[in-house]
Amino acid sequence: MGIKGFVEGGIASIIAGVSTHPLDLIKVRMQLQGESHVPNPATIQNLRPAFAFNGSSAASGAIHAPPLPPPRMGPVSVGVKIFQTEGVAALFSGVSATVLRQTLYSTTRMGLYDILKQKWTDPNSGKMPLVRKLAAGLIAGGIGAAVGNPADVAMVRMQADGRLPAAQRRNYKSVVDAITQMSKQEGITSLWRGSSLTVNRAMIVTASQLATYDQVKEMIIGNGVMKDGLGTHVTASFTAGFVAAVASNPVDVIKTRVMNMKVEAGAEPPYSGAMDCALKTVRAEGPMALYKGFIPTISRQGPFTVVLFVTLEQVRKLLKDF
C-alpha cells in the first residue's frame, strides 16, 4: 500500500508539472525582474557624485546616476516577450528538470503524506484531524524537497537562462548536463544551494496544499454540498492551490534568486544567504517584491493543483485493485 501511494502521486505530479511548465517559467522570470538593480557596495562606491567638499566639481566633473530599472512587465507581457525573442520552444525551457524534480520531490512528498495519513487517521471515525494533516504535510514536504533540490536548482537556472545576455548564458543541454556542469564548476554542494529555502517552501506548500485539499473535500462531502466526484475534486484542489500560493510566494521569490545567482571564482557572491537576499530585495525593491510573480504563481498553482488532484483521483480509481 505504501509503494502504491508513491506511484500514484508520482504519475499525477509529473502530468501536472509538465502541463503547467510554461506558467512556472513565466513566474520565475517575473520573480527575477529588477534583481540586477539591487545595489552592492562596489556599485554604490562607483555611483558617488564626483564633487569635492567645497562644491567644485572633481577632475571628471560628471555625476554618474544609477541606471533606471526597466518597467515591470505582467505575466502576459513576459510570456509574449519570451515567445517573440526566444521562440515557442523556450516556454518549455527546463522541462526535463521539471520531470526529474516531480519524480524526486513530488513523488516523495505525496507518497510519504499518504503513509502518514494512513498511520494517523482515526480508525473509528475514519478522519484525520487538521493538525495531523498539517504535520504530515510539513514532514513529507521537507523530506521531498531535500531529495529533489538538485533538480530544482537546475530547473530554475534553465528557466532563467533566456533572460541573460547571450554571452552570459549557461546553455545547459538538459537537466543531466546542468547538474554535471554545476558539480564540475561550482562543486557538488552547489546542487543543494538554497536547500534550506527549498525545504521551507516545500513544507509550507505541502502542508497548506494537501491538508487544505483533504479538509475542504471532507467538508464538501460531509455537509452534503456535493458528492465525491469531479466537482468536489476541482473545488477542493483550486482552494488548496490558492492557499498554497499565498503562503509560499515570499519564500519562492528568495529561493529563485538564491538558486539563480552567479558566483564568480574568487568573488563575493551576490547574496550570502536567504536572509541577506530577503533584506537586499526588500531594501532595493520594497516589501511587495516578495510577492513578485504572484499572479503567475496563482495562475500556475491553481491549474497545477487541480490537474494534480483530479489526475490523482483518477489514477487511484485505475489502480484500486492493485
Read off the pLDDT of residues 114-157 as tens digits, 9 standing for 90 and up: 999 999 998 888 889 999 999 999 999 999 999 999 998 898 88
For the chain, give the percent of residues with pLDDT over 70: 88
pTM beyond 0.85: the answer is no
> Between the CA of residue 160 and those of 24, 111, 257, 321, what are the distances in Å?
11, 30, 10, 43
Say which residue, 9 or 38, is predicted with more confidence.
Answer: 9
CATH number of 2-38+73-318: 1.50.40.10
Residue 229 sits at the vertex; the CA angle it makes with 309 and 15, to the nearest 5 degrees, is: 25
Can you give the residue ranges of every domain in the chain? 2-38+73-318
Burial (CB count <10 Å: 0-12, 13-18, 19+), residue 200:
buried
To which H or E segment does residue 192 belong?
none
Task: Give the C-alpha separation, 46 to 41, whole Å.
Answer: 9
pLDDT tens column, 203-240: 999 999 999 999 999 999 999 999 999 999 999 999 99
